Chains A and B, each alone.
Chain A
Amino acid sequence: MGRGSAKPPGRPLSDAVRMDGSGPWTWSANPGQSVYNETIRKGKHGEWRRWDPRRSKVASGLLRTTGAPERLLPSPGEHVLYLGAGHGTTVSHIHDVVCHDGAPGRVVAVDLSPRCLRDLTRLSRARPGLVPVLGDARRPEGWRALLPRRATWVFQDVAQAHQASIFTSACERFLAPKGRGLLSLKVESDRGSDAGALRAKVERELAEADFALEEVINLEGFEDKHLLFVVGGPPSA
């Protein structure tokens, strides 16, 4: 854990994010507190939190992407939507980014499981701007009021059947025109299809909904049988 070191890790991706060989780091929006026992490196007026690519599909996507990694992340002050927030591991880093240096960003973190919400609610107490929502990604009517503005960044990790159609309808409804959507696709959650066929099917679905597919990142090695789809915002909204 936190061995003090004044030198920031790796090279900068943005003010809030840096990258070294093993993965990204985020500048903590709630210094002094680790969320999941991640490595902390002290900086001058705060600290960097190591973002474990083995535990976060966004972090592994940042390492694996062939393009500029920073384009996969939102910017400080933005409103973002996170479907399938889990226990808040990745959510905490996204919150670091959008609420960097007191920026008025908001992370709306939706999950179906009360057990997960318990952790997210705890997290939200120390992190203003993190909005925990107990709700179903497939039924946005129950929580859409908590996201009053279109999100510039939508991430979905729900490991359910019909992941792709949940994602396209969420993006149509909530993603801002120049925003970016990331879909983490768990191959095994779609019964009876192999990776190649599923990938083709999802690509077709995204094309039918008029989303420009920028990249499909294979997370093999960090998260087996997972693909990360990166799309641009809805065509004209």
Chain B
Amino acid sequence: MRLFHDWYVAVLINEDGVEVDRLRWAGGGGVHGAVERLERVAQARLTQEAAQLLERFPEASVEPVGEGELPELTPEDLTYLDRAAVRLAERGVAEAAGDLDRRLEHLHRAMEEVRQASNVRLSRLVEWLGLFLPDLDLDQDRMGTARALGDADDLGSLARQLGLQTPMHLPARSEWRSLRDHGAAAVEVQARLDRLEAALRTLAEEHLPSLSALVGPMLAARLCVGAGGRARLAKLPSSTVQVLGAEKAFFAHLKTGSPPPKHGFLFTHPWVMRSPQWVRGKVARTLAGRCSIAARLDAYEGTPMTAADVAEVETKVLAIRAAHPRPPSRKGGR
């Protein structure tokens, strides 16, 4: 005895290929009912009708959907099917917002864009203002300068406030207003950037607790987005994690034989960046290995890394540095 079933019907067929029993969905529950049935079928679970038939004939074997065993869909069934498909698709689209990878990506890219906008704005601002104020220090506390500018009434009072010489040329009224607006906007963009960073930190610590503990939430987010999601990051070999973000140098290496990159995004981590140049590659390799472990803990929901685990990695990094106090000798090399 074999049981064939699909979302709208269940059919019982005996050894001679004769239909013994059949239960058909009568349209109960309307589109909602069809949606619920289609979901069951997609998850390889039994529909109500199939379960009922199986209860009547417990010895029947449940078969995968074949061809020809099941009756054709009626036009009404087909209408329900089409409407249910749209519902399912809409639900799937709505569920995409539950995917933290996607949210992290938008947040991260938005942050990068705003950071870039903020930098461009600030550098334009200090150059512009510096034209009028020749003794303004263009590199010191640019944000403070922007803030003072945004609050100033005119250029003369700004110069006094910053302890600078009175400007030789003054901007026209409308020009001054535009300059000041630019300062206020720079301050506003900075505030926006701070909020974005705070939000990214929170999300990264939730989505990538171990990796965030190891390399900080910002770098963790960057690695995750660079790899194309948490699951993919977890599946990457750590040699790839080591050079994520250095794709250009890496593929140039494959093509032209230039030296391979030692680090990508990981360079921004102080353990790498603050190491002497000749151990950075070794440190990056170690760190990449631990990043892979952390990403796997996060992706497969293991026990997150603790501060003690991170301290252990740091000990190892320090040991690498201590083992190579001097740059390698060039003698005997190429």
Looking at the complex, which one of A106, A117, A237 makes contact with B92 (CB distance below 8 Å)? A117
Query: Which residue of chain A has the shortest Cβ distance to B79 in the bound complex?
Result: A128
Chain A residues closer than 8 Å to B81, beta-carbon distance: 131, 145-146, 148
Query: With A132-B89, A134-B89, A134-B93 in contact, do A145 and B82 touch (Cβ < 8 Å)?
Result: no
Interface membership of B88, Cβ < 8 A: yes
Interface membership of B41, Cβ < 8 A: yes
Looking at the complex, which one of A121, A128, A134, A149 makes contact with B82 (CB distance below 8 Å)? A128
Chain A residues closer than 8 Å to B7, beta-carbon distance: 145
Query: Which residue of chain B has the shortest Cβ distance to A128 in the bound complex?
Result: B82
Chain B residues closer than 8 Å to A115, beta-carbon distance: 96
Q: Cα distance A48–B201 when bound, in Å?
A: 52
Q: Are A131 and B93 in contact (CB under 8 A)?
A: no
Chain B residues closer than 8 Å to A124, beta-carbon distance: 86, 89
Query: With A131-B82, A146-B85 in contact, do A114 and B92 touch (Cβ < 8 Å)?
Result: yes
Query: Which residue of chain A has the shortest Cβ distance to B77 in the bound complex?
Result: A148
Q: Are A145 and B41 in contact (CB under 8 A)?
A: yes
Q: Are A125 and B42 in contact (CB under 8 A)?
A: no
- Closest Cβ of chain A to B241, distance in Å, is 19
Interface membership of B44, Cβ < 8 A: yes
Q: Are A133 and B65 in contact (CB under 8 A)?
A: no
Q: Are A118 and B86 in contact (CB under 8 A)?
A: no
Interface membership of A36, Cβ < 8 A: no
Q: Are A143 and B82 in contact (CB under 8 A)?
A: no
Q: Cα distance A103–B88 when bound, in Å?
A: 24
Q: Cα distance A132–B88 when bound, in Å?
A: 9
Q: Cα distance A191–B262 when bound, in Å?
A: 24
Looking at the complex, which one of B6, B67, B72, B93 makes contact with A117 (CB distance below 8 Å)? B93
Q: Are B93 and A121 in contact (CB under 8 A)?
A: yes
- Interface residues of B, dominant DSSP: helix
- Closest Cβ of chain B to A235, distance in Å, is 15
Looking at the complex, which one of A120, A121, A129, A141 makes contact with B42 (CB distance below 8 Å)? A141
Q: Are A114 and B82 in contact (CB under 8 A)?
A: no
- Closest Cβ of chain B to A77, distance in Å, is 13
Q: Cα distance A128–B83 when bound, in Å?
A: 9
Q: Cα distance A125–B85 when bound, in Å?
A: 11
Q: Cα distance A118–B72 when bound, in Å?
A: 30
Query: Which residue of chain B has the shortest Cβ distance to A116 in the bound complex?
Result: B93
Q: Are A145 and B42 in contact (CB under 8 A)?
A: yes
Chain B residues closer than 8 Å to A118, beta-carbon distance: 93
Q: Are A125 and B86 in contact (CB under 8 A)?
A: yes
Interface membership of B90, Cβ < 8 A: yes
Q: Are A133 and B85 in contact (CB under 8 A)?
A: yes
Q: Cα distance A171–B38 when bound, in Å?
A: 22
Q: Are B38 and A145 in contact (CB under 8 A)?
A: yes
- Closest Cβ of chain A to B78, distance in Å, is 8
Query: With A121-B86, A145-B6 in contact, do A114 and B93 touch (Cβ < 8 Å)?
Result: yes
Chain B residues closer than 8 Å to A120, beta-carbon distance: 89
Q: Are A121 and B90 in contact (CB under 8 A)?
A: yes
Interface membership of B73, Cβ < 8 A: yes
Q: Cα distance A106–B86 when bound, in Å?
A: 13
- Closest Cβ of chain B to A192, distance in Å, is 11
Chain A residues closer than 8 Å to B78, beta-carbon distance: 106, 148
Q: Cα distance A79–B42 when bound, in Å?
A: 21
Interface readout for A126-170 with B: 1 if CB under 8 Å, 0 if not?
001101111000000111111011100000000000000000000
Taking CB atoms and an 8 Å cut-off, the chain A residues in 96-121 that contact chain B are 106, 114-115, 117-118, 120-121
Q: Are A133 and B73 in contact (CB under 8 A)?
A: no
Interface hub of B44, B78, B82, B96 (most chain A Cβ within 10 A): B82
Interface readout for B23-66 with A: 1 if CB under 8 Å, 0 if not?
00000000000000010011010000000000000000000010
- Closest Cβ of chain A to B193, distance in Å, is 26
Question: 3 smallest A-B Cβ distances: which pairs?
Answer: A134-B92, A114-B96, A132-B89
Extra pairs beyond A132-B89, A143-B42, A145-B6 (20, CB < 8 Å): A114-B95, A117-B92, A120-B89, A121-B93, A124-B86, A124-B89, A131-B81, A131-B85, A131-B86, A132-B86, A133-B85, A133-B89, A134-B92, A145-B7, A146-B81, A148-B6, A148-B72, A148-B73, A148-B78, A148-B81
Give 21 A-B contacts (CB < 8 Å), ordered by A residue: A114-B95, A115-B96, A117-B92, A120-B89, A121-B90, A125-B86, A131-B82, A134-B88, A134-B89, A134-B93, A141-B44, A143-B42, A144-B65, A145-B38, A145-B41, A145-B42, A145-B65, A148-B6, A148-B72, A148-B81, A150-B67
